[in-house]
Chain A
């Protein structure tokens, strides 16, 4: 019955195999990660010294905007969708995703979306330059003419994400192996199930926001234009009603990955599984009711400020439950520190730092000082890079031997981890200081007193960037000439259905569902 993949390019264009599509998502994500990373290098090179050296301020604005858009929508989100495609059917004992053709469509939309978005660099007016949050009226009245390409690009990404999430929910709810109840599902599946619901709830809101922009720009409506009875603050409410759940869309699957890696290398089951599930669900719920903490300075009544401040702080409770569960899993475990575990432990430490700065930012009166400074930049890079990127890197190291049947070079992996870890902290830790000292974000130049920390930050950024090339090299080298491995369990402490399969994972798996006791 089993037949292998089709030959040639057709395999990738027409595939409905969840493993092929997962692989394409992951490579696409890495390509976008390198592109967004290149934009970041331009930003840090310009900020290496005060004054204008390398690029013009207008181009600098395009760099910050495109860095944010490409990293959030092109690198992080597809990375986790790729992992979901690969791992969810394997972890629940399903032969494939529930809607394989839609799966193909939702991937192949993405290259077109990002072609639309990045083609704007070569058009008159240049790429979007209004920040990744595209606040009106910067993105409407004062936007470059290419903003329409940006809008359609976002529409396409939204369509892709919605289809991907529908597929994941349909798979998880309908295709679990007999005996796998919801409360027996692996954590990665749980976090993705909840994430997919978040995506279905908020991607249409994002699409709505850009559609209203489109109407304001081209068809004379005034959703965000005060002259016609609209309100620019409405834009911020709509955007952050999408934007805040979006940050949990990015981080929840990361929590799932970490909840697999830490038990494996602690050789203990995950501590507090059911509290992990409930914490994930609580975080998802709370993410919908805290959006205005991004807008403390728009002029909110005191009651609003207090509500959004306390509701935001409440998120720290389920998040802390997760962190304590991970620590308890490690406690008195038989720990070893292979590369995925190093990344997972770094995730727990650095994500917690990012969480604490998040609580600082949630304090409405203090936010008056922190708002739109490098402190915010440091905060969200601690949760986005050390959270989402570190965990997806960890996931690749963790499952790559299973996928390919070849072992990566452990020494190179560890070296790559330490360069990344040190480079990351050199880049972003100083940004806390210059932010507190008052350096605003998104500017191409800065006052002289910020020079030293900016130079250090840039050096860290170049180091971190170089480490990612080493990661690429290690992965390619593994696929081409890694040491073959064949035992089902790459890691002796690993548990779960995916480790019952032969290594490398065959093209078709679980044609007969396994039974869970």
Chain B
């Protein structure tokens, strides 16, 4: 009885359905991130970058703009110290962002970067960034948060302006610290 054609079909279809469930939860999200990583769509910048070669292409200048956003009702002051800077490709540049906890309780924040246009995503490297870590701040205290970046010399000719946007999230009440490895 266990080899009747109906049962064979049934088993095949059940395996198919289970396979699609696994595909949705365990394949689609990683696949999505790999695709975003390879193409730069989504504007997610990579992790820490080790500068390999120190030469600077002084024939090109690229304008880098900084934008900050507070997610939801995140009650911190959060702003770039400089809103705009002109750099040469290959040149490490240090800038800082200002943050102040405007509340009477100690909080933890996480900044999430995003680059526009997408064609520049892969060519914007951060050698040091406050977004690599969680940012705790005691009540009423303030801090300057560092960012060192290099615009790759191979950046497409069509890109003259890059906008780097940071969104600040309140993660004080999360039981598990988030794994922000994708920042």
Binding site for B on A (CB under 8 A): 98-99, 141, 162, 165-166, 169-170, 173-175, 200-209, 211-212, 220, 222-223, 226-229, 231, 233-234, 237-238, 241, 299-301, 304
Contact = CB atoms under 8 A, between A and B. Distances in A.
B171 interface: yes
A231 B71 CA distance: 14
Contacts of A170: 6, 9-10, 13
B6 A98 contact: yes
Nearest to B5: A174
Contacts of A169: 9, 13
A251 B24 CA distance: 24
Given A205-B23, A234-B29, A200 B112 contact: no
- Among A170, A209, A211, A304, max chain B CB count under 10 A is at A170
Interface residues of B, number: 44
A234 to B, nearest CB: 5
A228 to B, nearest CB: 3
The 9 A-B pairs at the shortest CB distance, nearest first, are namely: A208-B24, A227-B169, A228-B178, A204-B21, A204-B20, A229-B182, A205-B24, A208-B25, A166-B13
A238 B5 CA distance: 34
Contacts of A206: 24
B176 A220 contact: yes
Contacts of A212: 25, 29
Nearest to B7: A170
A202 B20 contact: yes
Contacts of B118: 299, 301
A212 B28 CA distance: 11
B174 A173 contact: no
Interface in B17-42: 17-21, 23-25, 28-29, 32-33, 36, 39, 41-42
Contact of A228 (B24, B25, B72, B180): B180
6 contacts: A141-B72, A173-B9, A208-B21, A212-B25, A227-B110, A241-B28
B71 A304 contact: no
B21 A207 contact: yes
B54 to A, nearest CB: 31
A-side interface mostly: helix
B136 interface: no
A52 B164 CA distance: 42
B33 to A, nearest CB: 8
B159 interface: no
B131 to A, nearest CB: 11
A435 B120 CA distance: 36
- Among B6, B180, B182, max chain A CB count under 10 A is at B6
Contacts of A299: 43, 118
B14 interface: yes
Given A204-B23, A231-B32, A300 B5 contact: no
B183 A229 contact: yes
B167 interface: yes
Contacts of B176: 220
Contacts of B24: 204-209, 238, 241
Interface in B150-183: 167, 169-171, 174-176, 178-183
A102 to B, nearest CB: 9
A205 B180 contact: no
Contacts of A237: 28, 32
A227 B134 CA distance: 10
